[in-house]
Structure 1
């Protein structure tokens, strides 16, 4: 609406600041809803920060792609995309380490069984580590996506070909975020068995 009413095809700076603040608040609120002490792999502020990391990479890459598709030169978007990819890599890696560290919470899985499935354990011990069980494939995908996003951001900044690299970086950021959620749910073994 502000853009349509604008005489010089711009919007006020305060509107951009309000937009960023609203996005940050919504991401924090969404991430905070998962923080539960009974699920050690979820109960860390790094889980919340990994969502912010995903926004840091996907936002600038998407803007770079849209700008390139419209033929608009956006000043500084290359640097923002590289910074966003680096921030996402650091925050995602930190959350992966935190998830793996949470596996030390579990000492043993020899607790009671579900009476309707007496020969099936209540939890799979392999799933509480990133390096075994169902999390391993998602870990590999996340690492590949982080590398692709970083390399794509650097190449996009160097070449200025954001139609290609903007899309590649945004998609890699999305793939990494989804892979982190898969790991989170896979490693989300609950402590209810202990009590």
Structure 2
């Protein structure tokens, strides 16, 4: 299947926004990171808006999108509901941060963390289609959640370095760095494991196809028959370099190494977080490119 760049950007920025908001919620639950809460919230809102705008470039007829909203079972309706709920939670988050005490209650932090996870799952679920076996797996949810769990903490680490305040004590800074450091390691590990498991699942989806031999497609009379088994072979096939180098090596291994090294005392956390974040973004984009390259359809059986 050809690359759908508006949807690649949409899913990337949605996961990124959810990751930043979720990392901010984790800091609130830990009772630290008050200084970076507002910058993280603003960043999450901006990423959410950018992702929302990107998806419209996938639509040839923008006016017809409202027809889909009438069906509560459609993926686009469910995504809209999740985005609206997340926006409401963000508004509440902003209200509490603007109060003199500037703290977020635990119940709201839990709501923020839950809706961040729900948004990524709902967004991923929209791509589960029986007609495309490589897509029809809940493991895709985990792969995108891994992206969010990695992108979020790394982004907040950088925001913390860029938004230093004289009012923050050394103990607060150490506490915030500790929570974000552990979060980044956990996110990097989850991203690596989930990406690898998802890749194996895509490879296994080749068993869903049946050999049909040759056929003539009247809509593409000059093109050879597609090979869905080869398309799903992302571990050793044409997309293998993109998967092993782009997704695993660059997008998983490098951020994990940066997160582990960043936990060392006197390590240049800002530099490592920047390298890790850039590589995480590259890996997330590559994962989505592999996702589309493996999305062969079984339309000839219907």
User: TM-score scaled by structure 1?
Assistant: 0.90
Structure 1 residue 109, shift from structure 2 partner:
5.6
**5+ long unaligned stretches in structure 2:** 1-94
Aligned to 2:273: 166
- Contact 1:78 1:156 (C-alpha < 8 Å) held by counterparts: yes
Alignment of 1:181-192 (within 5 A): 181-192=288-299
Aligned to 1:45: 138
Aligned to 1:153: 259
| 1:98-156 deviation per Cα after TM superposition (whole angstroms, max 9, x unaligned) | 011112223436342332542312414532211212x2232121112211111111111
- Contact 1:109 1:123 (C-alpha < 8 Å) held by counterparts: no
SS at match of 1:152: helix
C-alpha distance in 1 between matches for 2:104 and 2:267: 25
Structure 1 segments of 4+ aligned residues over 4 angstroms from their partners: none
| Corresponding residue pairs, total | 193
SS at match of 1:76: helix
User: TM-score scaled by structure 2?
Assistant: 0.60
Could you say which structure has the greater relative contact order, defined with CA pairs below 8 angstroms and 6 or more residues apart? 1
C-alpha distance in 1 between matches for 2:219 and 2:110: 54
**Partner of residue 205 from structure 2, selected from 98, 102, 126:** 102
- Contact 2:143 2:194 (C-alpha < 8 Å) held by counterparts: yes
**Partner of residue 240 from structure 2, selected from 130, 136, 157:** 136
Aligned to 1:27: 120
Structure 1 residue 160, shift from structure 2 partner:
4.4
Flag the 1:161–1:16 CA change in 2: closer, same or farther, 3 A. Answer: farther
- Contact 1:111 1:193 (C-alpha < 8 Å) held by counterparts: no
C-alpha distance in 2 between matches for 1:117 and 1:25: 40
2:99 pairs with 1:5? yes
Range moving further from structure 2, 105-114 or 57-66: 105-114
2:278 pairs with 1:175? no
Structure 1 residue 42, shift from structure 2 partner:
0.4
**5+ long unaligned stretches in structure 1:** none
- Contact 1:113 1:119 (C-alpha < 8 Å) held by counterparts: no
